[in-house]
């Protein structure tokens, strides 16, 4: 079997052929989602718990839908509201949950490394739905799938990631994935939001957007968090839009067939011009959302296969 992981904690742990196997299976699940009867039995009988220690609408909905289409019993737990306020530690929460025998645990947490820590304390498959500013592997995989379907390959492309790289787990996972698949990655943004240390990770760094976008095949925009806009990292929203907001003039420096991506939710008029976002010839932002469900379905399916294989010898002995 190509995909040998027990958990999906980050792109860092995946081999290139494992990434490809997720994307290949996800392609099949795209077809499933487009059918009238959007249902398979891949996860029938399994319990999927979505545990979100940080607000999320889109990612949680995507995981929930993916699980339901594959027949899993899905439960959503919004953790800000419950035990955290009562002072329970992350490990206690994990142990409590583990006693309920979940099979797939989808976790988002505001601190880097927290999902890793949690995965050590449970005996089910854990999927990282974003930990601090560390990794967001399913986002990078859905971006890769979107690129592969648009460009026909996910190798030897020039890809620019623009905006708040410093605080972005999406950027980290994408940098790791795109490097593993042998692409050239450029990071574009003001130096307060694009630390020079990313050069050590094999990226080219630009603080000039037009120069950075020159001849790229893919433009990935990142969301700028509201709390970074008030003079802390950048002087103002309008100056940021002027220098780093993606509009037609700046995009003209990229290749004529370059695609535009955004992990959402977008701030129109801050990091991206509304017209670009809606341009069906350039923007693949809606397709990213569709690929998200397929990639998450594929990842959970592959992890569930490994989980069943790991459990099989025990049942055989009985």
Partner 1 sequence: MTTLFTNARLIDPSKLTDEIGSLLVQDGVIAAMGADVTAPEDAEVIDCGGKCLAPGIVDIGVKVCEPGERHKESYKSAGLSAAAGGVTTIVTRPDTLPAIDTPEVLEFVERRANEAAPVNVMPMAALTKGREGKEMTEIGFLMDAGAIAFTDCDHVVTDNKVLTRAMTYARSLDALVIAHPQDPGLSKGACATSGKYATLYGLPAVSPMAERMGLDRDMALVETTGVKYHADQVTAARALPALERAKANGLDVTAGTSIHHLTLNELDTSGYRTFFKIKPPLRPETDRQAMVAAVKSGLIDIISSMHTPQDEESKRLPFEEAASGAVALETLLPAAIQLYQNGDLTLPELFRAMALNPANRLGLPSGRLEEGAPADLVLFDADAPFVLDRFALKSKSKNTPFDGAKMQGKVLATFVAGKAVYS
Exactly one of 108, 172, 186, 223 is catalytic; name it.
108
With the CA atoms of 115, 27, 145 and 72 taken in that order, what torsion angle do they form, in degrees rounded to the nearest 10? -20
111 binds partner 1 (CB under 8 A): yes
- Residue from the set 135, 217, 273, 301 that interacts with partner 1 by CB under 8 A: 135
- Residue from the set 69, 109, 186, 250 that interacts with partner 1 by CB under 8 A: 109
Q: Which among 13-21, 126-134, 253-261, 296-304 is the span making contact with partner 1, rule CB under 8 A?
A: 126-134
Residue 228 appears among annotated catalytic residues: no
Choose between 116 and 143: whose C-beta lies nearer to partner 1: 116
Region of residue 114 (phi > 0: left; psi between -120 and 50: alpha; otherwise: beta): alpha
Quote the tokens at residue 15: 């081999």
Q: Which among 127-135, 220-228, 238-246, 302-310 is the span making contact with partner 1, rule CB under 8 A?
A: 127-135
111 within 8 A of 79, measured Cβ to Cβ: no
Choose between 132 and 190: whose C-beta lies nearer to partner 1: 132
112 within 8 A of 132, measured Cβ to Cβ: yes
Residue 59 appears among annotated catalytic residues: yes
Map the footprint of partner 1 across residues 7-36, applying CB under 8 A.
12
- Residue from the set 131, 217, 271, 273 that interacts with partner 1 by CB under 8 A: 131
Q: Which among 100-108, 125-133, 206-214, 274-282 is the span making contact with partner 1, rule CB under 8 A?
A: 125-133
Residue 108 appears among annotated catalytic residues: yes
113 binds partner 1 (CB under 8 A): yes
Map the footprint of partner 1 across residues 202-221, applying CB under 8 A.
none
Q: How far is CA 267 from CA 77, 224, 288, in A?
A: 27, 8, 17
> What does the DSSP assignment read for 97-110?
HHTT--SEEEEEES
State the number of CA atoms in the 13 A half-sphere of 218 facing the CB. 31
State the number of CA atoms in the 13 A half-sphere of 84 facing the CB. 12
48 within 8 A of 67, measured Cβ to Cβ: yes
Where does this chain bind partner 1 (CB under 8 A)? 12, 89-91, 109, 111-114, 116-117, 131-135, 169, 172, 195, 197-198, 200-201
């Amino acid at each position: 079997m190509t995909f040998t992981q027990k958990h999906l904690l980050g792109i860092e742990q995946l081999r290139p052929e494992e990434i490809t196997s997720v994307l290949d299976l996800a392609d099949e699940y795209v077809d499933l989602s487009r059918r009238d009867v959007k249902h398979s039995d891949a996860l029938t009988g399994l319990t999927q718990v979505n545990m979100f220690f940080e607000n999320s609408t889109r990612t949680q909905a995507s995981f929930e839908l993916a699980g339901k289409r594959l027949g899993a019993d899905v439960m959503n737990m919004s953790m800000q509201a419950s035990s955290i306020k009562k002072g329970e530690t992350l490990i206690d929460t994990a142990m409590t949950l583990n006693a309920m025998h979940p099979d797939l645990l989808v976790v988002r947490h505001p601190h880097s490394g927290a999902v890793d820590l949690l995965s050590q304390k449970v005996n089910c498959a854990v999927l990282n739905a974003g930990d601090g500013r560390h990794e967001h592997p399913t986002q990078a995989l859905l971006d890769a799938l979107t690129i592969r379907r648009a460009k026909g390959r996910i190798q030897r492309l020039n890809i620019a990631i623009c905006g708040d790289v410093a605080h972005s787990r999406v950027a980290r996972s994408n940098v790791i994935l795109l490097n593993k698949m042998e692409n050239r990655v450029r990071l574009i943004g003001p130096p307060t939001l694009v630390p020079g240390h990313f050069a050590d990770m094999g990226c080219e760094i630009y603080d000039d957007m037009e120069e950075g976008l020159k001849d790229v095949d893919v433009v990935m925009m990142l969301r700028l968090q509201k709390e970074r806009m008030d003079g802390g990292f950048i002087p103002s929203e309008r100056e940021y839009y002027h220098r780093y907001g993606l509009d037609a003039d700046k995009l003209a420096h990229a290749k004529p067939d370059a695609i535009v991506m955004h992990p959402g939710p977008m701030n129109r008029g801050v990091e991206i011009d509304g017209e670009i976002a809606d341009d069906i010839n350039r923007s693949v932002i809606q397709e990213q959302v569709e690929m998200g469900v397929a990639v998450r379905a594929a990842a959970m399916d592959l992890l569930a296969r490994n989980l069943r294989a790991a459990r099989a010898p025990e049942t055989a002995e009985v």
